[in-house]
């Protein structure tokens, strides 16, 4: 159960059979024009440290390492289009496809996906709203991402309403105590914090997405044993959500740093130990990762 592949996703996708995947989630680079970089720091006590902390003691930060990937494309849609067409081809008859993107490219991607899937296969634009970080003083601060959901067939697709988690009412006093205690189902606007820079979930990979969002997608849009695919997998957040809920998965990334993080992250689900990314050639499959005890994060 579970495979992680190092390589250009277009090559990998072309090797997969029609209808291979029950659920596809992708979070490609957003074409921000900047190198996405995340540096991992640790704080240590030091006489000459530049920061002062508890009881006036001095601390300094040491760099543990960093990971990065390029996020600038001359022709973004020309890069995405063949990959989106492959995604449509490998999607099972009752399958769903999610594109995670932001305000810069979402409108162009929607038009392209309408052409590839058909407008009648568009189900929702989900807004993931968060509220973290600095405010822009010249325009409204963008604090949301967009998830476009398409299905292969609008007449039959997996949507497990009973698996939706419940959230608190904004005004519980306006509904009865029973309803207030049960909570309500979310709409197409999902409020969820980003991955905490200091929390357990953090892998240190730039642009890591929160498990809470991905677990909701996995639970509602797939069933146990289904094949889930993320071919811009990064730190493997979608793979972890899949493994946690008993789904099979295929994760692809062209960045060896991402492969190494995924191997570490998903080894908690493995009966055996995972080997390092450096052992793999481009396009070569990394040994299967089996499900087991959930990883508690690093």
Ligand X SMILES: C[S@@+](CC[C@H](N)C(=O)[O-])C[C@H]1O[C@@H](n2cnc3c(N)ncnc32)[C@H](O)[C@@H]1O
Q: Which of 86, 226, 248, 254 binds ligand X (CB under 6 A)?
A: 254
- Residue 222 interacts with ligand X (CB under 6 A): yes or no: no
Name which of 222 and 255 has its Cβ closer to ligand X: 255
3-state secondary structure 205-227: CCCCCCHHHHHHHHHHHCCCCCE
Q: Residue number with the shortest CB distance to ligand X?
A: 234
Q: Is 277 left (phi over 0), alpha (psi -120 to 50) or beta?
A: alpha
Q: Which of residues 171-200 bind ligand X (CB under 6 A)?
A: none
Name which of 121 and 214 has its Cβ closer to ligand X: 214
Name which of 208 and 222 has its Cβ closer to ligand X: 208
- Residues 6-25, one symbol each (x = binds ligand X by CB under 6 A, - = not), give --xx----------------
Name which of 227 and 233 has its Cβ closer to ligand X: 233
- CB neighbours of residue 258 within 10 Å: 25
- Residue 27 interacts with ligand X (CB under 6 A): yes or no: yes
Among the listed ranges 26-34, 37-45, 147-155, 277-285, the one in contact with ligand X (CB under 6 A) is 26-34
Q: Which of 1, 2, 4, 29 binds ligand X (CB under 6 A)?
A: 29
- Residue 280 interacts with ligand X (CB under 6 A): yes or no: no
The two structure tokens encoding residue 173: 């006093």
CA pair distance 15, 33, nearest whole angstrom: 30
Name which of 27 and 226 has its Cβ closer to ligand X: 27
Among the listed ranges 101-109, 116-124, 162-170, 201-209, the one in contact with ligand X (CB under 6 A) is 201-209
Query: With contacts defined by CB under 6 A, how many residues of the chain interact with ligand X?
Result: 19
Residue pair 238/29 in contact by the 8 Å Cβ criterion: no
Q: Which of 22, 255, 263, 270 binds ligand X (CB under 6 A)?
A: 255
- Residue 86 interacts with ligand X (CB under 6 A): yes or no: no
- Residue 201 interacts with ligand X (CB under 6 A): yes or no: no
- CB neighbours of residue 261 within 10 Å: 23
Report in angstroms how near the CB of residue 291 gets to ligand X at its nearest. Answer: 19
The two structure tokens encoding residue 198: 């200091």
- Residues 31-70, one symbol each (x = binds ligand X by CB under 6 A, - = not), give --------------------------------------x-
Q: Which of 2, 95, 204, 234 binds ligand X (CB under 6 A)?
A: 234
Among the listed ranges 55-63, 85-93, 246-254, 264-272, the one in contact with ligand X (CB under 6 A) is 246-254
Which residues lie near ligand X (CB under 6 A)? 8-9, 27-29, 69, 205, 207-209, 232, 234-235, 237, 252-255, 258
């Amino acid at each position: 159960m579970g495979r992680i592949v190092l390589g250009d996703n277009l090559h990998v996708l072309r090797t997969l059979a029609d209808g291979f995947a029950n659920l596809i989630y992708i979070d490609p680079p957003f074409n921000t024009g900047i190198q996405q970089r995340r540096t991992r720091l640790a704080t240590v006590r030091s006489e000459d440290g530049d920061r002062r902390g508890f009881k006036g003691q001095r601390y300094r930060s040491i760099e543990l390492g960093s990971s990065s990937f390029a996020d600038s494309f001359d022709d973004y849609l020309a890069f995405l289009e063949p990959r989106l067409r492959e995604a449509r081809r490998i999607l099972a008859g009752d399958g769903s496809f999610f594109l995670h993107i932001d305000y810069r490219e979402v409108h162009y991607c929607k038009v392209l996906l309408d052409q590839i899937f058909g407008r009648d296969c568009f189900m929702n634009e989900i807004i993931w709203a968060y509220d973290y970080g600095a405010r822009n003083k010249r325009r409204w601060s963008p604090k949301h991402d967009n998830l476009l959901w398409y299905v292969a067939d609008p007449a039959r697709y997996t949507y497990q309403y009973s698996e939706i988690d419940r959230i608190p009412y904004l005004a519980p006093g306006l509904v009865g105590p029973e309803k207030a205690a049960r909570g309500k189902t979310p709409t197409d606007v999902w409020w969820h914090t980003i991955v905490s820079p200091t929390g357990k979930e953090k892998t240190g990979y730039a642009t890591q997405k929160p498990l809470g969002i991905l677990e909701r997608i996995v639970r509602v849009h797939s069933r146990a044993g289904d094949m889930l695919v993320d071919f811009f997998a990064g730190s493997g957040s979608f793979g972890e959500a899949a493994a946690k809920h008993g789904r099979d998965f295929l994760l692809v990334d062209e960045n060896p740093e991402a492969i190494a993080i995924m191997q570490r992250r998903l080894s908690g689900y493995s009966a055996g130990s995972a080997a390092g990314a450096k052992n793999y050639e481009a396009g070569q499959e990394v040994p299967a990762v089996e499900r087991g005890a959930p990883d508690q994060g690093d």
